[in-house]
Homo-oligomer: A and B are copies of this chain.
Amino acid sequence: MASSGEQDMVPETRVLAIASHVAYGFVGNTMATYVMQSLGCEVAGINTVHFSNHTGYRQVKGTKTSAQEIRDLYEGLVQSYLTDFDVLLSGYAPSAAAVEAVGDIARDLKRRAESKPGSFFWILDPVMGDLGRLYVNEDVVPAYKNAIHYADLILPNQFEAETLSGVKISSVGDITKAINKIHEIYKVPHIIVTSVQLSRLDGSSTPSSTLTVIGSTIRSDGSPRLFNIDVPTLNCNFNGTGDMFAALMVARLREAVFASSPSLKTTTSWVSPDDVPATDLPLAKATEKVLSSMHYVLEKTMEARTAELATPIDPASTEQLTDEQKRLRAHLRETKAGEVRLIRNVHALRNPKVIFKAQQWRET
């Protein structure tokens, strides 16, 4: 029993998780809840959509939660004194009004915790789009821009970092500019840009097979402390990896903060003293573990996907289909085969072998 006991678990952590729910597969809260629970967190989930499956399948059934329903569920927690959360993790919200509702919940939790610095922390994934394209309504952008002022850590991808900073990232140096801007405009103390393909940027010598994660914790003078971690890309579009990253970060950041100086966990927003270098930040230590867990799980997912797609399809099952129907069928099969293999690889979430190390970001 030894290694499935307490010693594999992070410090006790009560999380409110607000994100989407899918019946089948792992994205949103369906991903985040299990990931955090498997590391020992108590997770309360408010689901912002109730879908049959993730949108990567290109067809989905289900309903969205209204902003009022999100507020009501939170009000239900308040009226029964069930709001003793250490962390709020918020992901996809289906409308600007829903983003505002989440922001109001975060502010209320912050207010309740204000007499105890460090006792509440908001990790916000500003889900707006990817690869140069918004996939939410345009009014969601200003809603996030308002909300982020209250967040402790945000997890934008490259496109979202551009959207929030107003800095178009076309060179390696632009990344530093964008992160600087986000610290400056929103006073958000911690930022991780979760995926940058440096090889596509001017002035980079990074190979195209590498993905870079860049993080920063602000110093008292407002300047960033930047680190990066390079990871090999896997040749597949997985769904839910942003949610896996965020959920692992909840547990690993709190663990790293508790393992740091005793006073850090009672410091507002867990901002390390100025003399802590970028690569020694709890944010950097946490990211190392997070990415190591993820790489293992995604490699296993790739293997399982390849094996699943190698099994032959019964030709009789598709012979009546049009070419378009056959293409959809093949897409559905590939998407299903690419669902993240979380359950049987839980040991890699709990006990990652740390294979990636944070480096001081080469500010150019």
Whether the pair B62, A80 counts as a contact (CB closer than 8 A) is no
* A343 CB contacts on chain B under 8 angstroms: 37, 40-42
Whether B6 lies near A344 (C-beta < 8 A) is yes
When all copies of this chain in the complex are counted, the total is 2
Complex: A40 Cα to B9 Cα, angstroms = 18
Binds B, one of A69-77, A188-196, A230-238: A69-77
Q: Which residues of B contact A335 (CB under 8 A)?
A: 80
Interface assignment of A135: CB less than 8 Å from any CB of chain B: no
Complex A-B, nearest 10 residue pairs according to Cβ-Cβ distance, in ascending order = A52-B76, A61-B76, A4-B4, A4-B347, A24-B44, A24-B82, A61-B72, A23-B44, A1-B347, A52-B73
A3 at the interface (CB under 8 A from B): yes
Complex contacts, A40 vs chain B, CB 8 Å:
343-344
A123 CB-CB contact with B under 8 Å: no
Distance from A67 Cβ to chain B, minimum over Cβ atoms (Å):
13
Q: For A46, what are the chain B residues with a Cβ–Cβ distance below 8 Å? A: 23
Give 1 or 0 for each of A5-36: 1 = CB within 8 Å of chain B CB: 11011001000100001011100001001100
Interface contacts beyond A23-B76, A60-B76: sample of 15 additional A-B pairs, CB < 8 Å, sorted by A: A2-B3, A23-B46, A24-B77, A30-B45, A33-B34, A34-B34, A50-B65, A52-B77, A53-B77, A53-B80, A62-B76, A80-B332, A80-B336, A81-B336, A82-B336
Q: Chain B CB within 10 Å — which of A9, A25, A61 has the most?
A: A61
Using a CB–CB cutoff of 8 Å, the interface residues on chain A facing chain B are 1-6, 8-9, 12, 16, 21, 23-25, 30, 33-34, 37-38, 40-42, 44-47, 50-53, 57, 59-63, 65, 69, 72-77, 79-82, 329, 332-333, 335-336, 343-344, 346-347, 350-351
